[in-house]
Structure formats: structure tokens, C-alpha cells
Amino acid sequence: MAIIDLWGKKLQKAVKAGEAEAVNGNAVNAWIVRFDSLPKTLEEMQALPEASLDAPFKAAALTVAALCVWPEDKAQAKEMLKFLSGPKELTQLDWQFISDRFMDGKDYIPRSYFIGATPENDYTPSKPYSIRIVDEPNALSGINYATVFLQSGGADSMRQVKLRYKPSTGQWFLWEQFLLAGIREPKSQNAWA
């Protein structure tokens, strides 16, 4: 109960414009995170207000931004993901998993989470880059853990990001992400389109 209250207070401070909605009859919280441009380096990421990581949705949005960097600059993307993971050590297996998801030119997958990015427009997001992130009534999946959901323009179901809270710093760090699963091909790559 205390962790729910703590999380709610942190979110109220961190978000001025969260919105409540109903999904499948359940109340959810939703946030839109906007980027005028996507960070290309760890330093650019750390300069963003979301880099405070004081709410789960901020870490989730920055995870998408970091994954967008991977196809162009793996070294920078790794630094960003290390920052977002905080004290959690990422293993060689973690890096290999991410690398495998981008095989065969699938660099469009992280872009698909931005509003306006669909298979029909080859996952070209609207600008400013905006990501909608929701939680559900049971978003706190254990003490110091939270799960948020993002919708890909190429998938029927929402994808989740699990985060872990570090009480000593008041920050939420990336614990697990399920953002790189397959989605519908962009129209330009779909032989059946």
C-alpha cells in the first residue's frame, strides 16, 4: 500500500497532464511523452527532462528513443540503455537479443511506438515525436516494480515495459522490455501490400 501511495505521489509531481481513461472497463492512466527531436547520444538523452527517471513512463519513453538509435550507432544505444538500466548489469545475452531483433532490416520496430507511425507510411512518426504510455490498475507488479504498456502501430496488442524503482534515488530503471517483438512489415517491404 505504501509503495502505491509513493508511486502515485511521484507521478503527480512528475506529470502535469496525465489523463485517465477506460480500457476494457478498467480505469487506466495514460501519458503522452513528446520529443522535438530524438536524442542521438547519451549526453543528449541526459539533457532531456525525462532523464530524471522519476516516473516509470519517463524511463519507458526513453527506452524507445534509445532503441531507435541502435541501427545507426550501437555503441551510443548501448550507453543509453546502460543509463536506463541503472544498477542492473546488461549481459552479452541481453545485447545479442537486441541485436537479433534488428536483423533483416527491422529498424522500423522501435519507430512503430510513436503516434502516427503505421505500416502504411513505413512507420514514419508524426512530429513532434510522441509516445502514449498507459498503466493499468495492477501496474505495480510487486514491491518496487511497475509495468507500463505501449501500442505499436504495427501490432494488435500493447507491449509492456517493466521497471524497477530504486528508493535511494527515487528513480525508475528499465528492468525488462518486450518492445522488439515482430510487427507487421512496412508497406514498402511487404510483397503482399
pLDDT in tens, 36-82: 999 999 999 999 999 999 999 999 999 999 999 999 999 999 999 99
- Mean pLDDT of all residues in 23-32: 70
Confidence tier at 143 by pLDDT (50, 70, 90): confident
pTM, rounded to two decimals: 0.85
- Mean pLDDT of all residues in 31-40: 97
- Mean pLDDT of all residues in 120-142: 86
For the stretch 92-113, pLDDT in tens is 999 999 999 998 889 999 999 9
Confidence tier at 28 by pLDDT (50, 70, 90): confident
3-state per-residue secondary structure call for the chain: CHHHHHHHHHHHHHCCCCEEEEECCEEEEEEEEEECCCCCCHHHHHCCHHHHCCCHHHHHHHHHHHHHHCCCCHHHHHHHHHHHHCCCCCCHHHHHHHHHHCHHHCCCCHHHHECCCCHHHCCCCCCCEEEEEEECCCCCCECCEEEEEECCCCCCCCEEEEEEEECCCCEEEEEEECCCCCCCCCHHHCCCC
- Mean pLDDT of all residues in 23-41: 83
pLDDT for position 5:
36
Distances 25 to 28, 136, 140 between C-alpha atoms, Å? 9, 11, 19
Q: Letter for the amino acid at 166?
A: K
pLDDT for position 190:
81
pLDDT for position 141:
60
Residue-averaged pLDDT of the chain: 86
pLDDT for position 140:
60
Confidence tier at 84 by pLDDT (50, 70, 90): very high
